[in-house]
A and B are shown apart, each in its own frame.
Chain A
């Protein structure tokens, strides 16, 4: 994507707004890898890209919608999911992908997340979790580990972070996984599974933020990636209550939930729509 690559063709060029490159993401940031995985998954999944929309909220990851060459909506802070819910319910034939960050989806947007999962809205939600608010310069988030330093927890975070897969599971998501940007192959496959699966799919992606988070917590860019390599354990179907991220002991990755239940639209159609009369059925046929 750099200028030196001019002339050669990137395999994702047809899905990128190349006229908007260079992007805003910092050196060492993991969002680009997560974003590439998302685009590769979209291509590989075979979904109709003309009928696919990406919705983002606000923040570094929220800029994703601005770089994808699809119908793309960069909305308000925390509101990507309810915006996407309106879009999906109004036009169920659309594939709607939410690409946003942990602060956007789980602090300001937390209420919307749990309700969309409860309703089983057929969305694919990719959350890039970089453990802090990067766009505003590195403040504490609902995902920041206890004790970590940020600009608003200068002596350490006194609060406990969310276990996102547990929250998604408890709220009713029918697909839940967690990967890191180092596991790009598994991540891409997982997003692809989420895209083709009916129902609310949630994919958490751990991504380094060396400039704002790592710098204040004695993690150089490579340290974070090394932690992903050394501390991660792949454990599909792990008990969601055991998925708290612990950089000192273990970060459990894998696919934790893959179940079926009627989607929001299916339930609405079945419950609320009047039964078709024979004449209507003939027309529909």
Chain B
């Protein structure tokens, strides 16, 4: 029996399961993966659900192959996704770079666990944030979203597909073991209420089509394999025809295109959320599960008379530089709250530019940061101890 792709209704499900349902609701019809704690449940859910909605699931021989298959499937015109965690994320960096260079839309869910190496496989962390930004070789821009609940795992996975298809760029959903394994209420709206976006499609004369000639927003329309355009796609530096050109000029032009489509559309891409920020002296900057810690800390600090607020990074990448710069002129300090030893903190510090001090409440990984740690920091820097 076929089942609907959108399971409209109220559910009690984990973040991993919600991400899987979000993908199906977004129109994802190909998933290639490899088992890894704590992301396995995404693959398990999709393995069951994908054939019900006419899609295909495959468990590949490793994460390198999984990511390669995702890029191949997307080049065939099908919305595609994979899900993994730290060690698998490292293996996927190679073909993530191929997706960036060939401008192939795809979504990668990283349910983060503590590293380095095998680390703490069953325990959460947010230690892959800089790898998300810079993990594949060369210079590039991409988009990363950080859900803070199973409900957001659903919605932001849809958002990830929409952004990926709009900008022809890989989009990372940077969740973590805690959110991935947390069961909460997830409300799935009716299919008609879910906005889905598909990549700009190739049009016009097939013999004159230039596969990398930018269209609106700097994004080139995309031809899928089998549509008759006979395109060439390569991970080598290429021109608008898609042909390899080994010159400094071609490199500059291509980089300008793949960076520009993100940089010139920052306002459309970047999402942040503010909580009690208007009159805040101290700004907590956080994302994912740590934003929940921070939310509690803001209220506790306010009760102590410390004017704290929260800037939540829904899209850690691209980083909301302008927001931090604007705040730096009027606040007394930033506190980045994250389960690593200072990654997004470096960005906050950079954008604060010395105009406001930047502090870190970090953690080496394996558990959430308790709100008390954040309140203690706020007390110390506000002179309330």
Residues of A within 8 A of B (CB): 17, 19-20, 50-51, 53, 55, 65-66, 69-76, 78-79, 82-87, 89-91, 93-94, 111-112, 115, 268, 272-277, 280
Also in contact, A86 and B70, with CB within 8 A (given A65-B232, A74-B235, A91-B77): yes
Q: Mark B91-133, 1 if CB is under 8 A from A, else 0.
A: 0001101100000000000000000000000000000000000
Residues of the B chain whose Cβ atoms lie less than 8 Å from the Cβ of A17: 232, 243
Instruction: Of the listed stretches B54-62, B334-342, B362-370, name the one at the interface; the rest are far from the partner chain.
Output: B54-62
CB pair A85–B72 under 8 Å, yes or no, is yes
CB pair A50–B226 under 8 Å, yes or no, is yes
CB pair B51–A273 under 8 Å, yes or no, is yes
CB pair B94–A74 under 8 Å, yes or no, is no
> Would you give the shortest CB distance from A189 to chain B, in whole angstroms?
25
Cα(A280)–Cα(B2), bound, Å: 9
Is B233 an interface residue when CB atoms closer than 8 A count as contact? Answer: yes
Also in contact, A73 and B226, with CB within 8 A (given A82-B64, A89-B30): no
Is B228 an interface residue when CB atoms closer than 8 A count as contact? Answer: yes
> How many A-B contacts at CB < 8 Å in the complex?
152
Kindly identify, within residues 289 to 319 of chain B, every residue whose CB is under 8 Å from any CB belonging to chain A. Answer: none
Q: Mark B36-62, 1 if CB is under 8 A from A, else 0.
A: 000000000000000110001110111
Q: Which B-chain residue is minimally distant from A273 (CB atoms)?
A: B51
CB pair A72–B76 under 8 Å, yes or no, is no
CB pair A115–B78 under 8 Å, yes or no, is no
| Pick from B1, B57, B61, B223: contact of A115, CB under 8 Å | B61
CB pair A73–B68 under 8 Å, yes or no, is no
Cα(A75)–Cα(B97), bound, Å: 11
Also in contact, A86 and B71, with CB within 8 A (given A71-B229, A91-B76, A115-B60): yes
> Would you give the shortest CB distance from B93 to chain A, in whole angstroms?
11
CB pair A79–B94 under 8 Å, yes or no, is yes
Q: Which B-chain residue is minimally distant from A113 (CB atoms)?
A: B61
Also in contact, A274 and B1, with CB within 8 A (given A82-B65, A90-B72): yes
Cα(A17)–Cα(B56), bound, Å: 33
Residues of the A chain whose Cβ atoms lie less than 8 Å from the Cβ of B3: 274
Residues of the B chain whose Cβ atoms lie less than 8 Å from the Cβ of A112: 61, 65, 68
Residues of the B chain whose Cβ atoms lie less than 8 Å from the Cβ of A51: 226
Kindly identify, within residues 230 to 254 of chain B, every residue whose CB is under 8 Å from any CB belonging to chain A. Answer: 230-236, 243-244
Sort A-B residue pairs by CB-CB distance and give the 6 closest, nearest first. Answer: A86-B69, A86-B72, A90-B73, A82-B65, A83-B72, A82-B68
Cα(A79)–Cα(B62), bound, Å: 11
| Pick from B32, B66, B94, B226: contact of A91, CB under 8 Å | B226
Q: Which A-chain residue is minimally distant from B57 (CB atoms)?
A: A272
Is B75 an interface residue when CB atoms closer than 8 A count as contact? Answer: yes
Cα(A177)–Cα(B84), bound, Å: 37
Is B343 an interface residue when CB atoms closer than 8 A count as contact? Answer: no
Cα(A280)–Cα(B52), bound, Å: 13
CB pair A76–B51 under 8 Å, yes or no, is no
Given A71-B226, A82-B69, 19 more pairs with CB closer than 8 A: A53-B226, A71-B227, A72-B230, A73-B72, A76-B95, A79-B95, A86-B58, A86-B71, A87-B72, A87-B75, A87-B225, A89-B56, A89-B73, A91-B225, A91-B226, A94-B225, A115-B65, A268-B58, A280-B2
| Pick from A76, A94, A280: contact of B68, CB under 8 Å | A76
Is B80 an interface residue when CB atoms closer than 8 A count as contact? Answer: yes
CB pair B234–A93 under 8 Å, yes or no, is no
CB pair A90–B80 under 8 Å, yes or no, is yes
Q: What are 15 residue pairs bridging A and B, where the CB atoms are less than 8 Å apart in the complex?
A: A66-B232, A66-B234, A74-B235, A79-B94, A82-B66, A85-B65, A89-B73, A91-B76, A91-B224, A112-B61, A115-B60, A115-B61, A268-B58, A273-B51, A274-B3
Residues of the B chain whose Cβ atoms lie less than 8 Å from the Cβ of A71: 223, 225-227, 229-231
Q: Which A-chain residue is minimally distant from B244 (CB atoms)?
A: A66
> Would you give the shortest CB distance from A266 to chain B, in whole angstroms?
13
| Pick from A55, A76, A89, A275: contact of B94, CB under 8 Å | A76
Q: Which B-chain residue is minimally distant from A70 (CB atoms)?
A: B230
Residues of the B chain whose Cβ atoms lie less than 8 Å from the Cβ of A115: 60-61, 65
> Would you give the shortest CB distance from B60 to chain A, in whole angstroms?
6
Cα(A271)–Cα(B295), bound, Å: 47
> Would you give the shortest CB distance from B335 to chain A, in whole angstroms?
41
Residues of the A chain whose Cβ atoms lie less than 8 Å from the Cβ of B68: 75-76, 79, 82-83, 85-86, 112
Q: Which A-chain residue is minimally distant from B236 (CB atoms)?
A: A74
Q: Which of A71, A85, A115 has the most CB of B within 10 A?
A: A71
